[in-house]
Amino acid sequence: MSATLGLVPTENIHPSPAPIAPDVLARYMELEDVTGTVSDALDQLGIAGTVGSSILKPTMPGRQIVGPALTLRHDPVSTQPALNAAQGVDAMAEVEAHHVAQPGDVLVIQGMPDVSAIGGLSAAMGKRQGELGAVVDGGIRDVSAQRAIDFPIWSTSISPITGKWRVATTEVNGPVRIHDVLVQAGDVVVADDTGVCFVPRDHVLRVLEICESIVAKENAVRESIDANVTIADITAGLSKMHAV
């Protein structure tokens, strides 16, 4: 890992996990209805890792991304924003995450509601570093600027209120909580119009195998629909599939 920028304690900037094989990520990208399929696979393994798009709203409908999580945590500061602004006290340092980003990463931020964790300039840095986009439990701003550079974000809120005077960046590549899901650096992030799934790194291959099995079964059903097979026969076929 490159030297830090000195904005977050060195001991709180953890090494990035080993990369996930590109062909594995490519197979995730090829899945139909990717978050729905991944969510079903996570259910089969008893893993709670899905957040719907009614909570994590996409800024760029129609986009789909798959990549390892580059995690970042912001914590609220105790001092008043007006005082920090007057004194120029800015402890927000998401640039530390951009500094260690690898191409294909997805920035995952634990932030504050209705307070921006990432704006246009920060998104431009992430885009330049090869990040695919971001997922934010908290606010974002400068949405038009992010769209202009093709940097999709899924966030719980959008607000022009800056985080500069309100949060401190406390950890990079540590655990973060996104809604009800605990996310670790290197977990696979899958996001589309329907929501966001976080696949624990240790389960990436098993989840993918289940997903591909689900898609194969659904394709068989789709072929039956196209072939004008009766609903009764399709339903009987589904019962046999679930029994396997």
Alpha carbons 233 and 221: distance in angstroms, whole number: 10
Same domain assignment for residues 126 and 218: no
**177 assigned ligand-binding residue:** no
Residue 243 above 50 pLDDT? Answer: no
Report if residue 4 sits inside a domain: no
- In 3-state terms the chain splits into helix, strand, coil percentages (rounded to 5) of 35, 25, 40
Same domain assignment for residues 76 and 155: yes
pLDDT digits (tens, 9 = 90+) for 173-226: 999 999 999 999 999 999 999 999 999 999 999 999 999 999 998 876 776 787
Q: What pLDDT is attached to residue 240?
A: 60
**142 assigned ligand-binding residue:** yes
Amino acid at 65: I
Same domain assignment for residues 136 and 234: no
Tally of structural domains, the chain:
2
Alpha carbons 198 and 192: distance in angstroms, whole number: 12
Find the domain containing 37 and state its range.
10-201
Alpha carbons 140 and 144: distance in angstroms, whole number: 11
Same domain assignment for residues 49 and 110: yes
Instruction: Name the pLDDT band for 242 (thresholds 50, 70, 90).
Output: low
Same domain assignment for residues 16 and 32: yes
Q: What pLDDT is attached to residue 1?
A: 45
pLDDT digits (tens, 9 = 90+) for 136-183: 999 999 999 999 999 999 999 999 999 999 999 999 999 999 999 999
Whole-model pTM?
A: 0.92
Same domain assignment for residues 118 and 238: no
Same domain assignment for residues 238 and 181: no
Report if residue 2 sits inside a domain: no
